Structure 1
Amino acid sequence: MSTRYEFEKELNKMHNDLLKMGVMIEQSISDTIKAMKNQDIELAKEVIKRDDKIDNMEISMETECIMIIARQQPIASDLRLITSILKIITDLERIADHCADISEYVIKLAKENYKKPLVHIPLMADKVKEMVKETIDSYIEKNIEKADKVIKEDDIVDQYFYDIIEEIQALMKKDSNFIMQGTYFIFIVKYLERMADHATNICEWIKYNITGNLKYK
């Protein structure tokens, strides 16, 4: 059995594991949004528990990437792919962390009546979820145009962030009883904004893997 065949087999396993990780993270984002809307403590706990599984996946995949490099001594293009996968799984794991972070605040807010109707925050979360899905699709398809689309959509999430923060701050000034809840919401939207940033980071690495140029235009 050729060394190249074994190498391709190992790379294919890494590819499939990355896709599994992506599917789990998409589910976590969906569950986080649902838990936030419905103030669902049990669902929020599921997201937090799933984060531990994703953390373990990241460690396992990082170890496997390093072992592939050590065993196979890959050529430049293969090394670029492995490096990209290492970076991608790190950003994916951070997205999962932020889902768990938001879920912690969902649990804290579960027994309170939301003083601010949840309209724009779920819309922001839905856009982040869409970006992450398009990011995974871009990786599967090796689609630079789709990666560029995700990177541009980060501006939409940023605008949501600024608008929501401004609205929350105005409500906090108007009603001191909203300060604690408003602070929690600020943390939530910051985590969502960071999730979008990680999606754009992944797309930059996807482009690097395809082109060999990290500053591809």
Structure 2
Amino acid sequence: MPSSETPHIVRSYEEDLKRLRDMIARMGGLAERQVADSATALIRRDTELAAEVVSRDAQLDALEREIEAFCVRLLALRQPMAADLRLIVTSMKISSDLERIGDYARNGAKRAIVISSQPQFASLNGFSRLAHLVQENLKGAIDALVNDDLARADEVWNADQPVDDIYNGIFRELLTFMMEDPRNITAATHLLFVAKNLERIGDHATNIAERVHYAISGHILPDERPKSDSSAYAVVRPPQ
């Protein structure tokens, strides 16, 4: 039985799906840049760059609204099924993840401005490593969606534990600095929030990877993914 859809309509639909992937890639690229610049502003004590990150957050919000409206239009007009339906619904959820990542980057940039006015009492190498890891995971998750790469999505989903390990080390180190000298408390408290923001960005990257896995395969990954965030149970002894 011949298809009821003309080649023109099919081609137009395929172009719509490609445009959707391109929109997600564009939003993902902006989110990656926000994370990178927020971390750079912290490490270099660059208040101008931090202010730029804060001001750029509106672009991510606008892209989320644009993607949501485009997905709703596709659902209404194309009535997609199977893999196409999963891609469209997943894209809406991923745009929400990316918007939250932007919020965390903006918050980190705001705190970087405060931290820059405080005496520097510790190395920020851990923050540099943590930011690099979450950026790599975020890029990998977005690339997996754009390229229909199931293996890459699963790789990112399994890559959250090193992020937690670095975060745990930063958490304990900062608590120790605060206990050793109360003058460190203000800056260290802001740094704790920045570290937690980066850890949460890592969580959202693995959420995206999980969504991509479902979009490609139609199967849901297990609820529990490898994690090792033990900060909730940390006990720091005061110096003797």
Equivalent residues of 1:35, 1:43 under 8 A apart: yes
**Pick aligned residue for 1:117 from 117, 123, 148:** 123
Question: Could you report, residue by residue, the CA deviation over 1:7-50 in whole angstroms, capped at 9, with x for unpaired residues?
Answer: 22222211111111111112112211211111111111111111
1:37 to 43, 46, 64: 43
> Could you tell me how far apart the structure 1 residues matched to 2:113 and 2:101 are?
19
Q: Which position in structure 1 is the counterpart of 2:26?
A: 20
**Residues 3 and 72 in structure 1, CA contact (< 8 A), matched pair in contact too:** no
Match of 1:181 in 2: 187
Q: Does the Cα contact within 8 Å between 2:24 and 2:142 map onto a contact in 1? A: no
Q: Counterpart in 1 of 2:134?
A: 128
1:101 to 107, 126, 145: 107
Give the whole-Å Cα distance in 1 for the aligned partners of 2:174 and 2:117: 20
Deviations 1:163-203 (A, max 9, x none): 11111111111111111111101100000000000000000
- Greater shift after overlay, 47-56 or 8-17? 8-17
Q: Structure 2: where are the runs of 5+ without partners? A: 1-5, 226-240
Deviations 1:64-92 (A, max 9, x none): 10111011111232111101111111111
* Candidates 145, 155, 160, aligned match of 1:154: 160
Q: Which deviates more from structure 2 when the two are superposed, residues 55-64 or residues 111-120? A: 111-120
TM-score in terms of structure 1 length: 0.95
| Residue 208 of structure 1 pairs with residue 214 of structure 2 | yes
State the match for 1:137 in structure 2: 143
Q: What residue is the counterpart of 1:167 in the other structure?
A: 173
Partner of 2:12: 6
Q: SS where residue 183 of structure 2 aligns?
A: helix
Provide the rounded CA distance (Å) in 2 between the counterparts of 1:25 and 1:16.
14
My pick for the range that moved more, 99-108 or 144-153, is 144-153
In the alignment, residue 38 of structure 2 is paired with which amino acid? T
Which residue in 2 is equivalent to 1:77?
Answer: 83
Paired residues, what number?
Answer: 217
Structure 2 SS opposite 1:74: coil
Mapped pair 1:51 → 2:60: no
Which amino acid counterpart does residue 103 of structure 1 have in structure 2?
Answer: A
What RMSD, in angstroms, separates the aligned Cα atoms of the two structures?
Answer: 1.5
Tell me the distance in 2 between the aligned counterparts of 1:9 and 1:143. 20
Q: Distance in 1 between matches of 2:58 and 2:172?
A: 34
Structure index of larger Rg: 2
TM-score by length of 2: 0.86
Amino acid at match of 1:165: F
The answer as to whether partners of 2:50 and 2:110 remain within 8 angstroms in 1 is yes
Q: Does 1:62 align with 2:94?
A: no
